[in-house]
């Protein structure tokens, strides 16, 4: 009997000891959580009873070089509902359907959906958002947001680009400098009970958004506007397929204007032009991509006789050409078994080189190309960086399409020498000529100058690499003198501006296939001829009727210069 009681007591003691150990462990554990993990679990408790809504950051603006706002923001509202906070469901459905002009079925589906928060409509005008606020509907949230707005519609559309529904850049500068302009989102934190219903009289906690930085560009609103006007005018009067105009500073690569009409409405970029009629859904994106393409950088073309500037520079550098050197043009030249004609059917006869470039004589430049030979010509083509991209700060730059050196024979060399049988971009053409007439410095064409805060405080200045010694100063000076003579008495006479020393070169190239009867007319001009500060390239694609560069494109640059040169002189 005694033994049974002893065993029973031992069991009680063991059970008590185990209980005390467990109790001690629990006390230690609770103490650990209360003292060492209190911050963590307090945050978890708060998170459990907080509802989070984002506040969009104000996107940085895009400005021209003088501070004109080219891309701005307008305040809009996002309308959302919180299911378990709605007390008057039918009233909410009726009012939101009416004010947002949405079907009752659409609104009901979202109001009745059991979720933490359900968006009804984004980008609602502020006036409508304010009106919905006035109803004081429980469970309905009206949060302010920002939407991109372009004050000048289609101006510089293919340069500026646009943003999507998430306010992020899609094309152009908007995507290239997206990280600079996007900013940091803020947050609205609302305290709720265990059922997810907001606790009355508890203020919302706000983490304010950080606005993005403004982008200051090299564009000049006045020059861009006038260049666009001229391009649209040429498009209409010449019934052209497309017209591109580039205006840049050849000394540093700053782009003052970049036009490629037809442009598109930046405030409605996904709209298909009415003239295209009804478009199949699967073809919409393809059409939009075509509308958004910037022909100045995304597309290549045969440059034609403007490229004779490059042939001249190579020959001068190689020492096989002087301005008084004589040539004979009977109206054609035979290269192997190929007869290549001059644009002047009867020929130019005996001319010196100055007269040859003034008349844009094909046999003169073919002769220079052949005298250089494939090896040397190809080397200069590479030395002038024509096979590289310019590095412009816009997405999607196309590269040069050129013969492989091993595939170049005398005929290919002859056609390249006067600007045919290969393709480059307009920006490459303008940049390369800039490097040949500015003293020999290869510049990088660019649009960004700096980023800054909205109050004008500078944040970051952008720099672009340049390379010296592309050609000698002597070659550059000779080119400038020759090209001034092209405008003063040569094929570029229609680019002459009274009272200003202008240099330039015309071009007329035939599109592929050669028998299409379609041409590209272009003219490159610069001022002042002795020390260029501005260069302009106008390209008219497939003009109807007269198609020569000197008659179609040169007048465009003349009119442009007549208006902007006095303006630039006063800057």
pLDDT at 235: 96
pLDDT at 512: 81
The CA-to-CA distance between both ends of the chain, in Å, stands at 118
Counting DSSP H helices and E strands in the chain, the numbers are 18, 19
> What band does 45 get if pLDDT is binned at 50, 70 and 90?
very low
- Answer whether residue 283 shows pLDDT above 90: no
The closest of 290, 240, 296, 255 to 269, measured between CA atoms, is 290
What residues contact residue 116 under an 8 Å CB cut-off, 6+ apart?
A: 51, 82, 196
- Percent of the chain at pLDDT > 90 equals 75
Instruction: Report domain extents, the chain.
Output: 51-133+144-217, 223-265+302-569
> What band does 514 get if pLDDT is binned at 50, 70 and 90?
confident
Q: Specify burial of residue 367 (Cβ count, 10 A radius: 0-12, 13-18, 19+).
A: buried
Q: Which residue has the tokens 């993990």?
A: 37
> What band does 49 get if pLDDT is binned at 50, 70 and 90?
very low
Identify any residues that bridge with 540 across adjacent strands, giving them in sequence order. Answer: 243, 521
Output the six-digit token pair for 459: 């944040």
**What is the Cα–Cα distance from 558 to 245, expressed in whole angstroms?**
12
Q: Between 347 and 54, whose confidence is greater?
A: 347
DSSP assignment of 265-280: -TTSTTPPPGGG-S--
C-beta of residue 112 within 8 angstroms of C-beta of residue 172:
no
| Cis amide bond preceding 513, omega within 30 | yes
- Answer whether residue 345 shows pLDDT above 50: yes
> What band does 274 get if pLDDT is binned at 50, 70 and 90?
confident
C-beta of residue 533 within 8 angstroms of C-beta of residue 426:
no
Tens of pLDDT, residues 179-233: 999 999 888 776 655 555 555 545 567 788 899 999 999 999 999 999 999 999 9
Average pLDDT value for residue range 473-480? 98
CATH placement of domain 223-265+302-569: 3.40.710.10
pLDDT at 277: 76
Rounded to two decimals, what is the model's pTM? 0.87
Tens of pLDDT, residues 169-178: 999 999 999 9
Average pLDDT value for residue range 523-528? 98
Identify any residues that bridge with 508 across adjacent strands, giving them in sequence order. Answer: 521
Weakest mean pLDDT among 270-274, 362-366, 389-393, 422-426: 270-274
Q: What residues are annotated to the active site?
A: 305
Tens of pLDDT, residues 131-168: 999 999 998 999 888 899 999 999 999 999 999 877 89
DSSP alpha helix (H) spans, 341-425: 353-358, 362-383, 410-417
**What is the Cα–Cα distance from 535 to 429, expressed in whole angstroms?**
11
Ramachandran angles phi, psi of 2, nearest 5°: -65, -40
User: Superfamily assignment of 51-133+144-217 in CATH?
Assistant: Penicillin-binding protein 2a (Domain 2) (3.90.1310.10)
Average pLDDT value for residue range 464-485? 96
For the ranges 1-15, 71-85, 107-121, 524-538, the one whose mean pLDDT is highest: 524-538
pLDDT at 48: 41
């Amino acid at each position: 009997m005694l033994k049974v009681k002893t065993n029973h007591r031992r069991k009680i003691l063991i059970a008590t000891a185990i209980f005390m150990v467990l109790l001690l462990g629990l006390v230690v554990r609770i103490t650990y959580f209360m003292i060492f993990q209190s911050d963590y679990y307090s945050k978890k408790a708060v998170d459990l009873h907080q509802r989070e809504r984002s506040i969009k950051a104000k996107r940085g603006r895009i400005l021209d070089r003088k501070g004109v706002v080219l891309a701005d923001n307008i305040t809009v509202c996002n309308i959302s509902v919180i299911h378990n906070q709605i007390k008057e469901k039918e009233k909410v459905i009726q009012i939101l359907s009416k004010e947002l002009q949405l079907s009752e079925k659409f609104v009901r589906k979202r109001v009745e959906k059991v979720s933490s928060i359900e968006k009804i409509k984004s980008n609602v005008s502020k006036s409508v958002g304010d009106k919905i606020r006035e109803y004081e509907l429980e469970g309905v949230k009206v949060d302010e947001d920002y939407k991109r707005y372009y004050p000048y519609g289609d101006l510089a559309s293919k340069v500026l680009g646009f943003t999507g529904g998430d306010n992020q850049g899609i094309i152009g500068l908007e995507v290239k400098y997206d990280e600079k302009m996007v900013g940091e989102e803020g947050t609205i934190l609302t305290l709720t009970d265990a059922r997810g219903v907001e606790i009355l009289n508890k203020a919302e906690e706000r983490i304010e958004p950080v606005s993005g930085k403004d982008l200051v560009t090299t564009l000049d609103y006045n020059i861009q506007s006038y260049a666009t006007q001229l391009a649209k005018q040429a498009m209409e009067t010449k019934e052209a397929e497309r017209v591109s105009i580039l205006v840049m500073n050849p000394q540093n690569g700053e782009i003052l204007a970049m036009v490629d009409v037809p442009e598109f409405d930046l405030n409605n970029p996904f709209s298909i032009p009415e003239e295209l009629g009804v478009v199949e859904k699967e073809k919409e994106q393809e059409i939009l991509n075509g509308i958004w393409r910037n022909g100045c950088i995304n597309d290549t073309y045969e440059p034609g006789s403007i490229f004779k500037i490059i042939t001249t520079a190579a020959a001068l550098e190689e020492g096989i050409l002087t301005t008084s050197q004589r040539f004979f043009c009977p109206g054609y030249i035979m290269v192997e078994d190929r007869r290549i004609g001059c644009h002047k059917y009867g020929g130019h006869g005996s001319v010196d080189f100055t007269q040859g470039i003034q008349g844009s004589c094909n046999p003169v430049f073919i002769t220079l190309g052949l005298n250089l030979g494939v090896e040397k010509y190809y080397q200069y083509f590479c030395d002038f960086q024509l096979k590289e991209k310019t590095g412009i700060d816009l997405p999607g730059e196309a590269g040069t399409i050129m013969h492989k050196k091993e595939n170049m024979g005398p005929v290919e060399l002859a056609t390249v020498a006067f600007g045919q049988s290969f393709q480059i971009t307009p920006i490459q053409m303008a940049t390369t000529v800039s490097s040949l007439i500015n003293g020999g410095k290869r510049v990088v064409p660019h649009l960004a100058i700096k980023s800054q805060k909205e109050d004008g405080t500078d944040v970051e200045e952008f720099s672009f690499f340049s390379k010296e010694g592309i050609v000698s100063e002597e070659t550059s000076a000779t080119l400038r003198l020759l090209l001034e003579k092209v405008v003063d008495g040569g094929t570029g006479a229609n680019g002459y501006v009274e009272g200003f020393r202008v240099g330039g070169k015309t071009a007329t190239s035939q599109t592929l296939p050669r028998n299409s009867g379609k041409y590209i007319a272009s003219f490159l001009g610069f001022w002042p001829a002795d020390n260029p500060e501005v260069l302009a390239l106008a390209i008219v694609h497939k003009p109807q009727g007269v198609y020569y560069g000197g008659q179609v494109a040169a007048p465009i640059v003349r009119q442009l210069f007549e208006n902007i040169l006095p303006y630039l002189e006063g800057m």
